[in-house]
Amino acid sequence: MALINNFVGNLQAALKKQGMSQAALAREAGVHYVTVNRILKYRLTPTIDVCERLAIAAKMQPEKIFRKPA
């Protein structure tokens, strides 16, 4: 559970930092915006592929997306 918490926290921080909406992130990552919303609300656990695509779309290095947020 800690990894998904780290992932969501880092993704939310990246969105806020860049002023990016969930819809914009979804478009960039090639996933449905409802999927992004469900992930950010802990209603859906993403696959590794989706995690990587979201990290790249949020301009994060995929290997850092699961690290504990600062």
Q: Read off the pLDDT band of 1 (50, 70, 90).
A: confident
Q: What is the pLDDT of residues 6-62, one digit of tens each?
A: 999 999 999 999 999 999 999 999 999 999 999 999 999 999 999 999 999 999 999
Homologous superfamily of domain range 2-62: lambda repressor-like DNA-binding domains (1.10.260.40)
Structure tokens at 40: 């950010």
Closest CA to 44 of 3, 4, 2: 4
Maximum distance among all Cα pairs of the chain, rounded to whole angstroms: 28
> Residue 30 in 3-state DSSP?
coil
Structure tokens at 8: 């969501």
Would you state the pLDDT for residue 63? 87
Look at residue 70 and tell me whether its pLDDT is greater than 80: no
- Residue 59 gets the label, from left (phi > 0), alpha (psi -120 to 50) or beta, of left
Would you state the pLDDT for residue 69? 77
